[in-house]
């Protein structure tokens, strides 16, 4: 069973000092502590961001959201709108 989750996210409206971050219920995803949001990496030359998380020790289901993260101030600025996202079991 593979417990690595990979995300690719498109967000073309960010400022140069911003990236996308992920934050969720499990300690491996920050345990909803905004100071522990995990920044995604921008794919060079693209408008896409990516992250690969080793979630072998995670407790499923995982509940999470994406947000905008200021890489200069090192803080989460805002969450995406709408309901939380969920992964019910390892894939």
Chain segment 33-48, per-residue pLDDT in tens: 999 999 998 888 877 8
| Phi, psi torsion values for 42, nearest 5 degrees | -80, 135
Per-residue confidence (pLDDT) for residue 83, from 0 to 100: 96
Q: Quick: pLDDT tens for 55-82.
A: 888 999 999 999 999 999 999 999 988 9
Q: What is the mean pLDDT of the chain?
A: 86
Q: What is the pTM of this model?
A: 0.83
Please state, as a whole number, how many other Cβ atoms lie within 10 Å of the Cβ of residue 12: 7
Confidence of residue 2 (pLDDT cuts 50, 70, 90): very low
Of 27 and 10, more confident: 27
Q: Is 16 exposed, middle or buried (0-12, 13-18, 19+ CB in 10 A)?
A: exposed
């Amino acid at each position: 069973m593979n417990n690595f989750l990979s995300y690719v996210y498109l967000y073309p409206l960010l400022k140069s000092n911003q990236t996308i971050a992920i934050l969720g219920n499990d300690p491996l995803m920050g345990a909803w502590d905004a100071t522990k949001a995990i920044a995604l990496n921008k794919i060079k030359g693209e408008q896409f961001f990516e992250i690969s998380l080793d979630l072998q020790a995670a407790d499923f289901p995982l509940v999470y959201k994406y947000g905008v993260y200021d890489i200069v101030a090192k803080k989460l600025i805002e969450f995406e709108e709408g309901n939380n996202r969920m992964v019910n079991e390892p894939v």
